[in-house]
């Protein structure tokens, strides 16, 4: 186990405090996802949990799901309420780690670090979820000055010299 993996496991176990399930197989799967995300973004599991706890939506969503109070599920998550789980104090949507708003830009920046196209950023962020993720990734690529200057954002066809009948 790498040093980073040990830190993630230690952070997550220390912060568990009985929140969420601890089914062995599910815990291992969730830990693996958290580890991958923390390695890709350089955000520790402890920081992720702290930001989840203070996030305006996720801090309401988590107890609503745990207590089965569907009416308290925030609007952005209502349609997905049956796909939401809580493990290690973190929120997972369809098996993807929910990104607190305070970390969203950090995750987007990590995915766009090499000025990748939105499709490649989607692939890099396949383990995480936030409402409007695809739109946000497209907007990042479209508004990136370096990408614009390099001509990566051309959405129009260049004029043709062929005659059109």
pLDDT value of position 143: 85
Q: What is the pLDDT along the chain (165 residues), one digit of tens a residue?
A: 445 544 554 455 444 444 444 456 666 777 777 777 777 778 888 888 999 999 999 999 999 999 999 999 999 999 999 999 998 889 999 989 999 999 999 889 888 888 888 888 888 888 899 999 999 998 888 888 887 777 766 553 344 555 555
DSSP letter string, the chain: --HHHHHHHHHHHHH-TT-SB--HHHHHHHHHHHHHHHHHH---HHHHHHHHHH-TTHHHHHHHHHHT-GGGS-GGGGGGGGGEEEETTEEEETTEEEPPHHHHHHHHHHHTTT---HHHHHHHTTTEE-TTHHHHHHHHHHH-HHHHHTTTT--SPPP--S---
pLDDT value of position 65: 94
pLDDT value of position 142: 84
Sequence spans of domains, the chain: 3-149
Which overall architecture, per CATH, does domain 3-149 show? Orthogonal Bundle (1.10)
Does the pTM of the predicted model rise above 0.75?
no
pLDDT value of position 115: 80
């Amino acid at each position: 186990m790498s040093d980073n993996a040990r830190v993630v496991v230690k952070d997550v176990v220390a912060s568990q405090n009985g929140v969420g399930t601890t089914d062995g197989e599910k815990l291992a799967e969730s830990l693996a996802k958290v580890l991958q995300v923390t390695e890709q973004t350089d955000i520790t599991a402890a920081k992720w949990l702290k930001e989840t706890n203070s996030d305006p939506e996720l801090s309401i969503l988590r107890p609503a799901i745990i207590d089965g109070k569907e009416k308290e599920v925030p609007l952005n998550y209502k349609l997905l309420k049956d796909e939401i789980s809580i493990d290690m104090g973190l929120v997972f949507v369809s098996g993807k780690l929910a990104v607190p708003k305070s970390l969203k830009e950090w995750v987007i920046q990590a995915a766009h670090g090499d000025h990748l196209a939105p499709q490649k950023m989607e692939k890099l962020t396949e383990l995480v979820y936030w409402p409007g993720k695809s739109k946000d990734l497209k907007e990042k690529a479209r508004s990136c000055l370096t990408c614009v200057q390099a001509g990566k954002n051309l959405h129009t066809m260049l004029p043709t010299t062929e005659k059109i009948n």
